[in-house]
Amino acid sequence: MPAMLRSLETAVPATTLTQNEVRDVFAAQPGLSRLGARLVKTCFDGSGIDTRYTAVEEMSLARHSDNPVFFDAGSGLLLSPSTKVRNELFATEATKLFVDAAARALAACEGVEAADVTHVVTVSCTGFFNPGPDYRIVRELNLDPAVERYHLGFMGCYAAFPALRAAKAFCDADPNAVVLVVAAELCSLHVRSSNNPDTIMGSSLFGDGAGAAVVTARQLPPGAPAIRLDAFATTLTPVGEDSMAWNIGDEGFEMVLGTYVPHIIEEHITGALEPLLAGSPAFASGRHSDIPHWAIHPGGRSILDRIETVLGLTAEQLLPARDTLRRYGNMSSATVLFVLKHILEQDPGREDEPICAMAFGPGLTVETGLFTKIAPGR
Protein backbone atom coordinates (compact mmCIF):
# COMPACT_ATOMS: atom_id res chain seq x y z
CA MET A 1 0.00 0.00 0.00
CA PRO A 2 1.11 3.62 -0.44
CA ALA A 3 1.96 5.79 2.54
CA MET A 4 -1.18 7.05 4.23
CA LEU A 5 -1.81 9.70 6.87
CA ARG A 6 -4.18 7.63 9.02
CA SER A 7 -4.87 10.01 11.90
CA LEU A 8 -4.36 13.71 12.47
CA GLU A 9 -4.88 15.44 15.80
CA THR A 10 -4.11 18.88 17.22
CA ALA A 11 -3.52 20.48 20.61
CA VAL A 12 -3.35 24.06 21.91
CA PRO A 13 -2.44 25.60 25.28
CA ALA A 14 -5.17 26.55 27.75
CA THR A 15 -4.77 30.34 27.59
CA THR A 16 -6.84 32.10 24.92
CA LEU A 17 -5.87 35.45 23.45
CA THR A 18 -8.64 37.62 22.02
CA GLN A 19 -7.26 39.67 19.15
CA ASN A 20 -8.89 42.97 20.10
CA GLU A 21 -7.65 42.73 23.68
CA VAL A 22 -4.10 41.91 22.59
CA ARG A 23 -4.20 44.80 20.12
CA ASP A 24 -5.09 47.23 22.88
CA VAL A 25 -2.23 45.95 25.05
CA PHE A 26 0.31 46.43 22.27
CA ALA A 27 -1.10 49.84 21.34
CA ALA A 28 -0.73 51.06 24.92
CA GLN A 29 2.97 50.22 25.34
CA PRO A 30 5.28 53.12 26.29
CA GLY A 31 7.81 54.08 23.65
CA LEU A 32 5.47 53.27 20.80
CA SER A 33 5.58 56.03 18.19
CA ARG A 34 2.48 57.46 16.53
CA LEU A 35 3.36 55.51 13.39
CA GLY A 36 3.92 52.38 15.47
CA ALA A 37 0.52 52.79 17.11
CA ARG A 38 -1.13 53.11 13.69
CA LEU A 39 0.70 50.00 12.48
CA VAL A 40 -0.47 48.05 15.52
CA LYS A 41 -4.10 48.89 14.79
CA THR A 42 -3.73 48.20 11.07
CA CYS A 43 -1.95 44.86 11.51
CA PHE A 44 -4.16 43.52 14.28
CA ASP A 45 -7.46 44.68 12.77
CA GLY A 46 -6.58 43.44 9.30
CA SER A 47 -5.20 40.06 10.36
CA GLY A 48 -8.34 37.98 9.87
CA ILE A 49 -7.77 36.55 13.38
CA ASP A 50 -10.30 36.40 16.22
CA THR A 51 -8.45 34.26 18.74
CA ARG A 52 -5.06 32.70 19.33
CA TYR A 53 -3.59 30.50 22.05
CA THR A 54 -0.49 30.96 24.19
CA ALA A 55 1.55 28.80 26.53
CA VAL A 56 2.48 31.96 28.47
CA GLU A 57 -0.23 32.02 31.12
CA GLU A 58 0.80 35.54 32.17
CA MET A 59 -0.47 36.87 28.84
CA SER A 60 -4.04 36.44 30.06
CA LEU A 61 -5.52 39.74 31.23
CA ALA A 62 -7.36 37.82 33.93
CA ARG A 63 -4.19 36.37 35.44
CA HIS A 64 -2.11 38.46 37.85
CA SER A 65 1.38 37.37 38.88
CA ASP A 66 3.35 38.66 41.85
CA ASN A 67 6.57 38.30 39.88
CA PRO A 68 5.67 38.75 36.20
CA VAL A 69 8.25 37.78 33.59
CA PHE A 70 6.50 38.21 30.23
CA PHE A 71 3.53 40.47 30.96
CA ASP A 72 2.47 42.52 33.97
CA ALA A 73 -1.33 42.49 33.87
CA GLY A 74 -1.47 45.07 36.66
CA SER A 75 0.44 47.74 34.76
CA GLY A 76 -0.32 46.44 31.26
CA LEU A 77 3.39 46.36 30.42
CA LEU A 78 4.96 43.81 28.10
CA LEU A 79 8.27 42.74 29.64
CA SER A 80 11.52 41.66 27.96
CA PRO A 81 12.82 38.36 29.33
CA SER A 82 16.06 36.99 27.96
CA THR A 83 16.24 34.34 25.28
CA LYS A 84 17.35 31.89 27.98
CA VAL A 85 14.22 32.53 30.05
CA ARG A 86 12.00 32.18 27.00
CA ASN A 87 13.70 28.96 25.95
CA GLU A 88 13.37 27.45 29.42
CA LEU A 89 9.62 27.96 29.22
CA PHE A 90 9.67 26.42 25.76
CA ALA A 91 11.31 23.26 27.10
CA THR A 92 8.57 22.86 29.69
CA GLU A 93 5.48 23.90 27.77
CA ALA A 94 6.38 22.63 24.30
CA THR A 95 6.97 19.18 25.75
CA LYS A 96 3.37 19.15 26.99
CA LEU A 97 2.04 20.01 23.53
CA PHE A 98 4.31 17.54 21.73
CA VAL A 99 3.24 14.68 24.01
CA ASP A 100 -0.44 15.67 24.07
CA ALA A 101 -0.77 15.90 20.29
CA ALA A 102 1.20 12.68 19.77
CA ALA A 103 -0.92 10.77 22.29
CA ARG A 104 -4.10 11.99 20.62
CA ALA A 105 -2.92 10.94 17.17
CA LEU A 106 -2.02 7.45 18.36
CA ALA A 107 -5.32 7.04 20.24
CA ALA A 108 -7.24 8.07 17.11
CA CYS A 109 -5.45 5.64 14.79
CA GLU A 110 -7.44 2.42 14.73
CA GLY A 111 -5.24 -0.62 14.33
CA VAL A 112 -2.05 1.06 15.57
CA GLU A 113 -0.64 0.85 19.09
CA ALA A 114 2.24 2.73 20.69
CA ALA A 115 4.37 -0.41 20.37
CA ASP A 116 3.94 -0.31 16.59
CA VAL A 117 5.68 3.06 16.13
CA THR A 118 9.00 2.67 14.30
CA HIS A 119 9.94 6.32 13.67
CA VAL A 120 9.33 9.66 15.40
CA VAL A 121 9.83 12.93 13.50
CA THR A 122 9.44 16.15 15.48
CA VAL A 123 9.38 19.71 14.19
CA SER A 124 9.82 23.13 15.82
CA CYS A 125 11.52 26.46 15.19
CA THR A 126 10.58 28.34 18.38
CA GLY A 127 12.97 26.75 20.89
CA PHE A 128 15.65 24.17 21.59
CA PHE A 129 16.43 21.61 24.28
CA ASN A 130 18.16 18.26 24.41
CA PRO A 131 17.20 15.49 25.06
CA GLY A 132 14.59 16.97 22.79
CA PRO A 133 10.90 16.52 22.02
CA ASP A 134 11.55 13.34 20.02
CA TYR A 135 13.08 11.81 23.16
CA ARG A 136 10.30 13.08 25.43
CA ILE A 137 7.62 11.55 23.19
CA VAL A 138 9.33 8.15 23.31
CA ARG A 139 9.63 8.29 27.11
CA GLU A 140 6.22 9.75 27.94
CA LEU A 141 4.27 7.45 25.58
CA ASN A 142 6.33 4.36 26.42
CA LEU A 143 7.41 3.80 22.84
CA ASP A 144 10.06 1.25 21.98
CA PRO A 145 13.46 2.73 22.99
CA ALA A 146 14.78 1.53 19.63
CA VAL A 147 12.43 3.86 17.71
CA GLU A 148 14.32 5.93 15.14
CA ARG A 149 14.12 9.61 16.09
CA TYR A 150 14.59 12.72 13.95
CA HIS A 151 14.13 16.40 14.80
CA LEU A 152 13.72 19.16 12.19
CA GLY A 153 14.65 22.40 13.92
CA PHE A 154 14.54 26.06 12.94
CA MET A 155 13.24 25.55 9.40
CA GLY A 156 10.19 27.78 9.83
CA CYS A 157 6.58 27.67 8.71
CA TYR A 158 7.06 25.09 5.94
CA ALA A 159 8.76 22.40 8.06
CA ALA A 160 5.76 20.06 8.35
CA PHE A 161 6.30 19.22 4.67
CA PRO A 162 9.86 17.87 5.02
CA ALA A 163 8.59 15.90 8.03
CA LEU A 164 5.72 14.33 6.08
CA ARG A 165 8.03 13.75 3.11
CA ALA A 166 10.46 11.90 5.40
CA ALA A 167 7.58 9.84 6.79
CA LYS A 168 6.55 8.85 3.28
CA ALA A 169 10.14 7.89 2.44
CA PHE A 170 10.36 5.69 5.53
CA CYS A 171 7.08 3.96 4.62
CA ASP A 172 8.07 3.53 0.97
CA ALA A 173 11.29 1.87 2.10
CA ASP A 174 9.63 -0.31 4.76
CA PRO A 175 5.94 -1.20 4.28
CA ASN A 176 5.75 -2.11 7.98
CA ALA A 177 6.90 1.32 9.20
CA VAL A 178 4.66 3.44 11.43
CA VAL A 179 5.81 7.05 11.61
CA LEU A 180 4.66 9.55 14.21
CA VAL A 181 5.07 13.14 12.93
CA VAL A 182 4.63 15.92 15.51
CA ALA A 183 5.03 19.68 15.02
CA ALA A 184 4.71 22.06 17.98
CA GLU A 185 5.41 25.79 18.08
CA LEU A 186 5.32 28.36 20.88
CA CYS A 187 5.52 31.49 18.76
CA SER A 188 4.06 33.68 21.50
CA LEU A 189 7.24 33.26 23.55
CA HIS A 190 8.95 35.71 21.24
CA VAL A 191 6.47 38.58 21.01
CA ARG A 192 7.67 42.01 22.07
CA SER A 193 6.74 45.65 21.81
CA SER A 194 8.49 47.49 19.01
CA ASN A 195 8.11 50.18 16.37
CA ASN A 196 9.61 47.80 13.82
CA PRO A 197 6.95 46.88 11.21
CA ASP A 198 8.17 43.25 10.97
CA THR A 199 7.92 42.81 14.73
CA ILE A 200 4.48 44.39 14.88
CA MET A 201 3.29 42.15 12.05
CA GLY A 202 4.58 39.04 13.83
CA SER A 203 2.95 40.07 17.10
CA SER A 204 -0.40 40.39 15.33
CA LEU A 205 -0.23 36.95 13.68
CA PHE A 206 1.53 34.29 15.70
CA GLY A 207 0.08 31.84 18.20
CA ASP A 208 0.91 28.48 19.79
CA GLY A 209 -0.22 25.00 18.87
CA ALA A 210 0.74 21.46 17.87
CA GLY A 211 -0.32 18.93 15.29
CA ALA A 212 0.47 15.22 15.09
CA ALA A 213 -0.06 12.60 12.40
CA VAL A 214 0.39 8.85 12.12
CA VAL A 215 1.73 7.85 8.70
CA THR A 216 1.95 4.22 7.60
CA ALA A 217 1.64 1.96 4.58
CA ARG A 218 0.23 -0.88 6.67
CA GLN A 219 -3.16 -2.31 5.81
CA LEU A 220 -5.46 -0.86 8.46
CA PRO A 221 -9.20 -1.24 9.11
CA PRO A 222 -11.24 0.33 6.28
CA GLY A 223 -13.58 3.24 6.83
CA ALA A 224 -11.32 5.45 8.93
CA PRO A 225 -10.39 8.88 7.52
CA ALA A 226 -7.17 8.79 5.53
CA ILE A 227 -5.03 10.98 3.30
CA ARG A 228 -2.68 9.38 0.78
CA LEU A 229 0.67 11.17 0.46
CA ASP A 230 1.24 11.18 -3.29
CA ALA A 231 4.00 13.66 -4.11
CA PHE A 232 6.06 16.53 -2.72
CA ALA A 233 8.07 19.34 -4.29
CA THR A 234 10.34 22.11 -3.04
CA THR A 235 11.33 25.31 -4.75
CA LEU A 236 12.89 28.68 -3.97
CA THR A 237 11.49 31.90 -5.34
CA PRO A 238 14.08 33.88 -7.35
CA VAL A 239 13.74 36.84 -4.97
CA GLY A 240 12.85 37.28 -1.30
CA GLU A 241 15.82 35.86 0.59
CA ASP A 242 15.86 38.91 2.85
CA SER A 243 12.09 39.25 3.08
CA MET A 244 11.43 36.35 5.46
CA ALA A 245 13.90 35.23 8.10
CA TRP A 246 14.05 33.94 11.68
CA ASN A 247 17.01 35.00 13.82
CA ILE A 248 18.07 34.53 17.44
CA GLY A 249 18.38 37.72 19.48
CA ASP A 250 19.22 38.50 23.10
CA GLU A 251 15.54 38.96 23.96
CA GLY A 252 13.97 36.10 22.04
CA PHE A 253 13.86 35.07 18.41
CA GLU A 254 13.39 37.86 15.88
CA MET A 255 11.04 37.53 12.93
CA VAL A 256 11.74 39.23 9.62
CA LEU A 257 8.45 39.32 7.71
CA GLY A 258 8.70 41.96 5.03
CA THR A 259 5.60 43.66 3.71
CA TYR A 260 6.64 42.59 0.20
CA VAL A 261 6.16 38.87 0.96
CA PRO A 262 2.54 38.75 -0.33
CA HIS A 263 3.72 40.38 -3.58
CA ILE A 264 6.52 37.80 -3.97
CA ILE A 265 4.07 34.95 -3.44
CA GLU A 266 1.61 36.55 -5.85
CA GLU A 267 4.26 36.79 -8.57
CA HIS A 268 5.79 33.35 -8.13
CA ILE A 269 3.14 30.99 -6.73
CA THR A 270 2.08 29.65 -10.14
CA GLY A 271 5.66 28.79 -11.03
CA ALA A 272 6.24 27.28 -7.60
CA LEU A 273 3.38 24.84 -8.19
CA GLU A 274 4.64 23.69 -11.60
CA PRO A 275 7.20 21.11 -10.32
CA LEU A 276 4.50 19.47 -8.19
CA LEU A 277 1.70 19.42 -10.77
CA ALA A 278 3.96 18.45 -13.71
CA GLY A 279 3.92 14.86 -12.48
CA SER A 280 0.13 14.72 -12.47
CA PRO A 281 -1.32 14.84 -16.03
CA ALA A 282 -4.79 15.44 -14.62
CA PHE A 283 -3.76 18.80 -13.17
CA ALA A 284 -0.66 19.89 -15.08
CA SER A 285 -2.59 21.65 -17.84
CA GLY A 286 -5.91 22.31 -16.13
CA ARG A 287 -7.24 25.03 -13.89
CA HIS A 288 -6.01 25.16 -10.31
CA SER A 289 -9.61 25.34 -9.13
CA ASP A 290 -10.14 21.83 -10.56
CA ILE A 291 -8.32 20.53 -7.49
CA PRO A 292 -11.14 20.42 -4.93
CA HIS A 293 -9.17 20.87 -1.70
CA TRP A 294 -6.41 23.37 -0.86
CA ALA A 295 -4.44 23.05 2.37
CA ILE A 296 -2.62 26.38 2.35
CA HIS A 297 -0.51 27.56 5.25
CA PRO A 298 -2.25 30.79 6.31
CA GLY A 299 0.82 32.95 6.76
CA GLY A 300 -1.49 35.96 6.84
CA ARG A 301 -4.75 37.17 5.37
CA SER A 302 -3.10 39.13 2.57
CA ILE A 303 -1.18 36.02 1.47
CA LEU A 304 -4.41 34.02 1.25
CA ASP A 305 -6.08 36.86 -0.64
CA ARG A 306 -3.31 36.91 -3.26
CA ILE A 307 -3.32 33.13 -3.67
CA GLU A 308 -7.09 33.01 -4.05
CA THR A 309 -6.97 35.62 -6.80
CA VAL A 310 -3.92 34.37 -8.71
CA LEU A 311 -4.95 30.70 -8.69
CA GLY A 312 -8.64 31.42 -9.29
CA LEU A 313 -9.77 29.51 -6.21
CA THR A 314 -13.19 29.79 -4.63
CA ALA A 315 -14.00 31.07 -1.16
CA GLU A 316 -14.99 27.51 -0.23
CA GLN A 317 -11.57 26.18 -1.25
CA LEU A 318 -9.87 28.77 0.99
CA LEU A 319 -12.22 28.16 3.92
CA PRO A 320 -10.01 25.60 5.76
CA ALA A 321 -7.05 28.00 5.68
CA ARG A 322 -9.05 31.10 6.58
CA ASP A 323 -10.92 29.35 9.38
CA THR A 324 -7.66 28.06 10.85
CA LEU A 325 -6.18 31.57 10.72
CA ARG A 326 -9.29 33.06 12.33
CA ARG A 327 -9.40 30.59 15.21
CA TYR A 328 -5.70 29.96 15.89
CA GLY A 329 -3.54 32.52 14.08
CA ASN A 330 -0.28 31.50 12.45
CA MET A 331 1.32 28.66 14.45
CA SER A 332 4.29 28.33 12.11
CA SER A 333 5.02 24.72 11.11
CA ALA A 334 2.01 23.23 12.93
CA THR A 335 -0.55 25.38 11.11
CA VAL A 336 -0.88 23.40 7.88
CA LEU A 337 -1.67 20.29 9.95
CA PHE A 338 -4.65 22.16 11.41
CA VAL A 339 -5.74 23.01 7.85
CA LEU A 340 -5.39 19.38 6.74
CA LYS A 341 -7.41 18.27 9.75
CA HIS A 342 -10.16 20.70 8.75
CA ILE A 343 -10.24 19.10 5.28
CA LEU A 344 -10.09 15.56 6.66
CA GLU A 345 -13.12 16.24 8.86
CA GLN A 346 -15.28 17.66 6.08
CA ASP A 347 -18.10 15.44 4.86
CA PRO A 348 -16.46 12.75 2.71
CA GLY A 349 -17.40 12.34 -0.91
CA ARG A 350 -18.13 9.09 -2.67
CA GLU A 351 -14.88 9.29 -4.64
CA ASP A 352 -11.28 9.98 -3.70
CA GLU A 353 -10.60 13.73 -3.66
CA PRO A 354 -7.25 15.43 -4.46
CA ILE A 355 -5.68 17.93 -2.07
CA CYS A 356 -3.02 20.46 -2.99
CA ALA A 357 -1.07 21.67 0.05
CA MET A 358 1.54 24.39 0.38
CA ALA A 359 3.51 26.43 2.89
CA PHE A 360 6.06 29.22 2.75
CA GLY A 361 9.09 30.03 4.86
CA PRO A 362 12.50 31.65 5.03
CA GLY A 363 14.29 31.76 1.75
CA LEU A 364 11.64 32.31 0.36
CA THR A 365 11.03 28.58 0.36
CA VAL A 366 7.82 27.12 -1.06
CA GLU A 367 6.96 23.55 -0.05
CA THR A 368 4.08 21.83 -1.82
CA GLY A 369 2.35 18.48 -1.65
CA LEU A 370 -0.24 16.62 -3.70
CA PHE A 371 -2.37 14.34 -1.54
CA THR A 372 -5.60 12.37 -1.88
CA LYS A 373 -8.45 12.27 0.62
CA ILE A 374 -9.57 8.65 0.53
CA ALA A 375 -13.30 7.93 0.27
CA PRO A 376 -14.89 5.88 3.11
CA GLY A 377 -14.55 2.14 2.78
CA ARG A 378 -11.39 2.29 0.71
Catalytic residues: 157
- Rounded Cα distance, 50 and 298, in Å: 14
**Nearest residue to 156 (alpha-carbon basis) of 373, 279, 334:** 334
Q: What angle do CA 11, 15, 17 make, to 5 degrees?
A: 105
Q: What angle do CA 55, 61, 64 make, to 5 degrees?
A: 85
**Nearest residue to 371 (alpha-carbon basis) of 359, 358, 354:** 354
Between the two ends of the chain, the Cα-to-Cα distance in Å is: 12
Encode 288-310: b = buried (16+ Cβ within 10 Å), e = exposed: beebbbbbbbbbbbbbbebbbee
Preceding amide of 97 cis, omega within 30: no
- The length of the chain in residues reads 378
- Rounded Cα distance, 199 and 115, in Å: 44
